[in-house]
Amino acid sequence: MWLHREVRLRPYRRGFHLITSSVVDALPELREIQVGLLHVFIKHTSASITINENADPDVPADMESAVNAVAPEDFPYTHTVEGPDDMPAHVKSVLIGSSVSIPIHAGKLCLGTWQGIYLGEHRDRASGRTLVCTLHGDASSP
């Protein structure tokens, strides 16, 4: 089975946001897959997708602080036409990445106990973001 679906996320404030349930809820066909792979790609250059710890609420705050230290707004960027948060957002997106691939087994994502899918929203006033989800797998029993 191959499935391609675009998932529109609501606007989020700047920071890291757990979106695992939004992705899974948008793909009910996932439950049919015995062995497969889910690829999630974000169609934006000022936001990112990553997998990280989903248990401690300090983790997203610390991730935001760390990427702000690596790509600060007060750096002397040349590209400034879209505001002071735009170029740092592009740098953060490059560092974190625009996609993740997650194995599937028995109808579930093979994430670790403390792992979840995060949206890294790097703009102060971003609109909703669009994900491209490609599901590939075998729906038959082993």
DSSP string, 22-91: HHHHT-GGGGG-SEEEEEEEE--SSEEEEEEE-S-THHHHHHHHHHHHHS-TTS--S--TT-TTHHHHHH
Q: What are the residues whose beta carbons fall under 8 Å from the beta carbon of 68, sequence distance 6 or more?
A: 88
Note the pLDDT tens digit of each residue in 46-62: 999 999 999 999 999 99
Q: Which domains does the chain have, with CATH numbers?
A: 2-138 (2.60.120.460)
Note the pLDDT tens digit of each residue in 61-71: 999 999 999 99
**What pTM does this model have?**
0.94
How far does CA 121 lie from the centroid of its chain?
A: 9
**pLDDT, mean over the chain:** 96
